[in-house]
Structure 1
Amino acid sequence: MVFSKRLFSSWICFLFFTGFLSNLSAQVLLTNQILDLRSETSFGQSIHKWSFKPGDSPLVTEEKEDDLYLDEESGQTKALRFLHAQPILEESVRNGWISGFQIQTAWDKVRDGDGEFYFPDFHKYRETYKGYGWYRTEILITEEDIRSKFKSRNLTLRLGQISQADAVYWNGKFIGGTGLLFDTEEGSELEDKSLYSDKIRFYQIPTDQLKTDEPNVLAVRVYAKYPLSPGLSHDKFYISSVKYSERAEYWNDFKKIFVIVLTLLLGSFYLYWQFLFRSEDDATIYFALGSIFMALNTLFQSQIIYSVIADGFWIKKIEYFAWIGLVHLLFNFIVRFAHVLQGWIKITNRYIDGAGVLSMFVVLFSPNLLFLSKFFFYWSFVTILLGGALFYIIFLGRKVPSIGTVSLGFCVFVLLIMNDVFVEMQWEWYPSHTFLKDYAFAAFSISVALSIVKNMIDSRRLVEKQREEKDRLSRYFSPAVMETIVADNIKLGGEEKHIATLFSDIVGFTTFAEKNPPGVVLQNLNTIFESLSDLIFHYSATLDKFIGDAIMAFWGAPKQTELDAYHAIACAVDMQKKMEEINRELGVPPGTFRLRIGVNFGEAIVGNIGSVKRMDYTVIGDAVNTAARLESHGIPGKVAVSEAAFLAAGGAEYIEFEDTKELTLKGKVEPVKVYFVTKVKPRPVV
């Protein structure tokens, strides 16, 4: 969770030193079930005291039986204990301990009483002391603390992030180590894989080594190979019951797992949303991939990973690798979500992607932890630039639906990241000591999920609106024309097509209108039109318009088939039959209302005719005029079909007629042969 150099940070108070360190008792703060071992220097009050001595410790000289172990390589019997870890310091090692300095600083930032640096150059420190140092403190635990606070003698020591390797001694006994083992020889240089600057340490205190109502000595041997967190961090340092520490450890793991599962679920959900509704938009692909990288980054920051991979160097590599991938994928997601991937932004984005891929390779092939940390530190400035660029991109895409919700999540993401930067810098004015980067992407993911929900609601409303619009338009237009209008594919102009056109007129309606009130006339006319319209739509026609008591319909546009003429004639025949039923429904004598129908087939112009502000989807041309003339010259109760329509419908094989005539129509030089059709035979669907 570090961007680079781990500053020697939080919660170490002052070393106690008045000449005899072993005679001083530390002040501790017991809150609820934990004994806090930190130094709250950021709030101006020192709670706990520590002492520090640079360099490693010599081994004990006395060879007691329980202090020895057999070095199998050399075959020698060696002592286990270091002098600096002894409960009572010998005279030879009492001098050189430092006290009274600000704890939340690195070794190279520690000042003496005159304000001068003790160790201004870490490299010189490492050269002099080989990167080793020791911490000591005394801890007083009373019987009352055991009964009322811990409620158990089975205690655990929690040391947060402490240097890059450590070995811990309680009252002179080795109780655990990370990187450093109990038999790591004095001045040994550790490999990078043994450095665990971010690991949280839990060490169980042996019950036989626990003293009550008298000081317990905690000594910590630390090692720093690089100027990265060379000492105690600002994490939690406390003693608690084993039950409490296990619960705290489980809770920390749960939070990590929760973030991992949440990011993966939201990424998968958004990817599913894209496949369903936004297949043309690849922004969701980048978000889904970013979720995977965030989950990977969180996993490699968790304590779980240390039980799986025993290589601290590679753990940091994968953590930084995943974070770089996340940042670049997040950048790509917002750029595409805001729909601004064009022009110079598109070109710049290619270079940014290239830089991201190159950075990820550099991280994977870093030669050591120092190079890795420094590279990531300088790369973090690129993150700042990308963050600033994203604010500008969000501004450009401010009109995109749901960009407001996403931008709010991005702002929360940035604020939580900035919290980690402030905590890392350990500024006196900033009180927080908690890293929140884990929750940053989770917060952003939730905002994206909210945008999904918003899009789902908007989509549902749009579907409902379109359904209502279709219901409304279906009263005025045929289904095919209605779909064209809803899809917003309407433009002024037309095209030539072979069209079958039908004109019908109600014979006897004018006389009926003269003898009846307007309300009755309108009611009867609507009843007739409703029945005939349903029949016309049944035959997949485009109902063009109602002209008084006449109807105009056509086949062949917007959709054209080889059965257009056949369907037009079949529809006309059924309309004549339907008219007989309508007379009975209206309660009028048979033959009161009859139809004259004319059908023609030929080339016509079909499209949106009129002006930009007012247009009709209709057909015009000689073939249309001929159909109108056939209707006006037709016989009531009969269907007049032109020869062109008769042949296009399949001729005598499918069409039965009772008579033919040669009619001279207005505007026509040659007579038109007309078939008076009585029946259509079934025809295979093409």
Structure 2
Amino acid sequence: MVVEEKSADLDDDPEFEEIKPLVFANALPTLPDQAKTGWISGFQIQTSWDTVKDGDGEFYFPDFSEYFEKYKGYAWYRTEISISPEDLKSKFKSRYLVLRLGQISQADAVYWNGHFIGSTGLSLDTPPDTFLEEKQLLPDKTRFYRIPVGLIRLDEPNILAVRVFAKYPISPGLSHDKFYISSLKYSERAEYWNDFKKIFVIVLTLLLGAFYLYWQFLFRKDEHATIFFSLGSIFMALNTLFQSQIIYSIVNDGFWIKKIEYATWIALAHFLFNFVVQFAKVHQHWISLVNRGLDIVGVISFVIALALPNLHSLSIFFSYWSFLNIALGIGLCYIIFLGRKIPAMGTVSFGVLFMFLLILNDVFVDLQLSFYPGDTYLKDYAFAGFSISIAFSIIGNMVESRKLVERQKEEKDRLSRYFSPAVMETIVNDHIKLGGEERDIATLFSDIVGFTTFSEKNPPSVVLDHLNAIFESLSELIFEYSATLDKFIGDAIMAFWGAPKKTEWDAYKAIACAVQMQKKMIQINEELGLPPGTFRLRIGVNFGEAIVGNIGSVKRMDYTVIGDAVNTAARLESHGVPGKVAVSEAAFLAAGGDKYIKYEEKKELSLKGKAEPVLVYFVTEVLPHD
């Protein structure tokens, strides 16, 4: 390599002032005249090797092997560009111009008016028989080359010549994307906004994926649709990154860039398909089997995409895998049809259609169809648009979930007036089934003494108000002692302990609650403005084996207890003394006996249905237990 003196025609460009021209051993910085009539005389867009044409529309080398054998993969493009002083003044509004080349072959070196101005993949001194490594092939990279001010001719056409290298029959020269010359400011601004849009899509999809995972963690632990969409969003962000020009400033290996791009697209397609299957709640056995088979194919395809040895085999594999995409698309439509009655499925269907149309746009761009006027890729925004539509669906589900939570809260508030918290949770969680089981149950019956006389002397509305006030106070106390409030029977209350949750202190709690109810009754008389003793309670408490469960029919059932132990508690109440708590010996002993239970007397009572007298304790106080 030899350093020459600075050329006089570069003095006007301050950015080139410190750069000295270089002469390499195997190439010239200035093209000789015989090289200016290049292999293809013009910038004709090609989409495949069998459509490569020259400026006159004639076909060149439909067989890539013939081309590669003759030229070792190297060729030239050449075109003439006229730039007038008026163009610099009104069109570009600058003397500093930039050449933009889209996806041009797999490597290139660019000359402007015979002078080397830049390269991608190739070097100025790359010999004509050099086979570039896979990582040096950058078929998707957009090229930007500064045109030195001193090289711009305003009095004659400018010659643009591009030396290209194609190792494989993909990206045959200028393909897929447009080329143009613009001012430096316009080019920088255009690429800034292009990078901004890419970054916006990447950040948006990552945020959506993270949000859906968070939503899954909070509310949908048994729902897999959100997980699949979250993973799809993450892989979409990766796919967008590895399709953008940003990645070339991070990774200097074109082969691995392409590998990860294809692998993330494969993962994205399968995660999206699984999302729709889960969202539509399709549970047919054969669909599940097909879905598992597609998942296995997806995993294998993902691994193959990362393991293939060269860019050509990777491109061929991905083109064949694209046919599976068609099958996935058809299956997607069928799954959406099966799940059409699912809430928010309409939004998902719209998102899928929107994404399909944007991807179809890219197909038209790749095919360079003459009837299609657009030349912009939209695939990056396809999934972002789909994500936004799903976001609206998720938001709708959030609103519905919030309403459901509110309805459940209202239902719990309503049920709490009829059932203890334990029973209420059982009902809300839909764990109630018809049938019962044997358990040791502590049962309490109470009856309001004096209420019948009060009812005869007062209007029904007053009677009802007083009864509700009594029941309200006593119910709160019963729930405070973790009981199941079974039912109100006229002016009587039935409650029990030991179901649905059982503890070793059920009998103790029942007796303690009964003692507090007697004390509470004195306070209730005062609150109602009644003379002391107007209302008094008879309470009976028993402990023993009973049947507990849902008794009745499928359409109408009660969560209650039945059995001899329950009947005994009712008999104790009816034979009890107003203002006192009658406790059976079984309940007394189960509660800890005289260690915790204080009583004023005990005696045997003959109860209906009992052959032998029952020993009854009239309890006055319950001591705190350990």
Q: Note the 1:66-145 alignment, pairs <5 A.
A: 69=23, 71=25, 79-83=28-32, 93=37, 103-110=45-52, 117-145=59-87
Query: Does structure 2 retain, via aligned residues, the 8 Å contact 1:583–1:589?
Result: yes
1:458 counterpart (386, 390, 400)? 400
Which residue number corresponds to residue 273 of structure 2? 331
In the alignment, residue 23 of structure 2 is paired with which amino acid?
A: Y
| 1:547 to 2:501 alignment | no
1:287 aligns with 2:229: yes
Distance 1:589-1:105 versus aligned 2 partners, 3 A rule: closer
2:310 to 365, 368, 380: 368
Distance 2:485 2:421 in 1: 9
Deviation of 1:641 (Å): 0.8
The one-letter code matched in structure 1 to 2:537 is L
Cα distance, 1:67 vs structure 2: 9.2
1:46-85 equivalent positions in 2, closer than 5 A: 69=23, 71=25, 79-83=28-32
1:638-657 superposed matches below 5 A: 638-657=580-599
Alignment of 1:33-44 (within 5 A): none
**Counterpart in 2 of 1:424?**
366
2:461 is matched with 519
SS at match of 1:255: helix
1:322-343 deviation digits (Å, cap 9, x = unpaired): 2112222222333333333662
2:261 matched residue in structure 1: 319
1:584 counterpart residue number: 526
Structure 1 position 418, deviation (Å): 2.0
Deviation at 1:409, TM superposition (A): 2.2
Question: Which residue number in structure 2 is paired with residue 669 of structure 1?
Answer: 611
Question: Which segments of 5 or more consecutive residues in structure 2 lack a partner in the other structure?
Answer: 1-19
Assess if the C-alpha contact under 8 Å between 2:27 and 2:125 holds in 1: no
User: 1:233 aligned to 2:175?
Assistant: yes
Instruction: Tell me the alpha carbon deviations over residues 191-228 of structure 1, each in whole angstroms, 9 at most, x when there is no partner.
Output: 43332211101000001111225322222222322221
Aligned residue-pair number: 607
Write the mapping of 1:249-288 to structure 2, written as runs, cut at 5 A: 249-288=191-230
Question: Are positions 1:479 and 2:421 aligned together?
Answer: yes
Q: CA deviation at 1:517?
A: 1.4
Q: Does 1:504 align with 2:446?
A: yes
Summarize the Cα distance change of 1:215–1:506 in structure 2 as closer, same or farther, 3 Å threshold: same
Gaps of 5+ in 1: 1-65, 72-76
Paired residue for 1:20? Answer: none
Within 2, Cα distance between the matches of 1:585 and 1:97? 105
With the length of structure 1 as denominator, give the TM-score of the two structures.
0.83
Partner of 1:74: none
Structure 1 range deviating more: 342-351 or 293-302: 342-351
Alignment partners' CA distance in 1, 2:81 and 2:34: 14
The match for 1:17 is none
Partner of 2:443, secondary structure, is: strand
In the TM superposition, what is the alpha-carbon distance from 1:510 to its structure 2 partner?
A: 1.0
Q: Secondary structure at the match of 1:573?
A: helix
Take 1:679 and 1:246, find their aligned partners in 2: how far apart are those partners?
89
What pairs with 1:170-249 in structure 2 (closer than 5 Å)? Answer: 170-186=112-128, 188-249=130-191
Query: Which residue of structure 2 lines up, in the alignment, with residue 528 of structure 1?
Result: 470
Amino acid at match of 1:200: T
Aligned 8 A contact 1:84 1:134 in 2? no
Deviation at 1:586, TM superposition (A): 1.8
Measure, in 2, the Cα distance between the counterparts of 1:496 and 1:415: 65
Q: What is the match of residue 31 of structure 1?
A: none
The AA in structure 2 aligned to 1:487 is N
Report deviation, 1:647: 0.8
- Give how far 1:541 is off: 1.2
The reply to whether residue 681 of structure 1 matches residue 623 of structure 2 is yes
Give distance in 2, aligned partners of 1:161 and 1:105. 11
Give the superposition deviation at 1:600. Answer: 0.8
Aligned-partner SS, 1:485: helix
- Give matches, 1:339-488, under 5 Å: 339-340=281-282, 343-488=285-430
Instruction: Give the Å deviation of 1:245.
Output: 0.8
Q: Deviations over 1:270-320 (max 9, x none)?
A: 111112222233443333333332222222212122233333222212211
Amino acid at match of 1:81: T
In structure 2, the partner of 1:42 is none
Distance 1:361 1:569, change over 3 A: closer
SS of 1:673's equivalent? strand
8 Å CA contact retained: 1:642, 1:672: yes
RMSD: 2.5
TM-aligned CA deviation for residue 105 of structure 1: 4.8
Q: Is the 8 A contact 2:74 2:128 kept in 1?
A: no
Deviates more, 1:213-222 or 1:392-401: 392-401
CA distance in 2, matches of 1:67, 1:595: 110
Q: CA shift at 1:258, angstroms?
A: 1.8
Distance change (3 Å), C-alpha of 1:78 and 1:371: closer
Q: Call closer, same or farther: CA 1:142–1:534 in 2, change over 3 Å.
A: same
Asked if the contact 2:168–2:312 (Cα under 8 Å) also holds between the matched residues in 1, the reply is yes
User: Residue type matched to 2:264 in 1?
Assistant: A
Given that 1:85 and 1:220 are in contact with CA atoms closer than 8 Å, whether structure 2 keeps it comes out as no
State the one-letter code of the partner of 1:582.
Answer: I
What displacement does 1:617 show? Answer: 1.2
Report which structure shows greater RCO (CA 8 Å, sep ≥6). Answer: 1
- String of CA shifts for 1:510-558, please: whole Å, max 9, x gaps: 1111111111111111121111112111111111111111111111111
Tell me the amino acid that sits aligned with residue 456 of structure 1.
Answer: M
Q: Secondary structure at the match of 2:153?
A: coil
Equivalent AA in structure 2 for residue 315 of structure 1: I
- Tell me how far 1:480 sits from its aligned partner: 2.3
Q: Secondary structure at the match of 2:409?
A: helix
Deviation at 1:187, TM superposition (A): 5.2
- The answer to whether residue 539 in structure 2 is matched with residue 597 in structure 1 is yes
1:398, distance to aligned residue in structure 2 (A) = 3.6
* Counterpart residue identity of residue 259, structure 1: V
Q: Once the two structures are aligned, what percentage of the paired residues are identical? A: 72
Give the match for residue 15 of structure 2: none
Question: Does the aligned pair in 2 maintain the 1:477–1:544 contact within 8 Å?
Answer: yes
Q: 1:159 is matched with which residue?
A: 101
- The answer (yes or no) to whether the contact 1:502–1:554 under 8 Å persists in 2 is yes
The Cα shift of 1:611 comes to 1.2
Q: What amino acid does structure 2 have at the position aligned with 1:602? A: G
- Between the aligned partners of 1:104 and 1:647, the Cα distance in structure 2 is 97
Q: Read off the aligned partner of 1:438 and give its amino acid letter.
A: D
TM-score, normalised relative to structure 2:
0.91
Q: 8 Å contact 2:31–2:115 — kept in the other structure?
A: no
Q: Deviation at 1:404? A: 3.6
Q: Displacement, 1:644?
A: 0.7
Q: Secondary structure at the match of 1:558?
A: coil
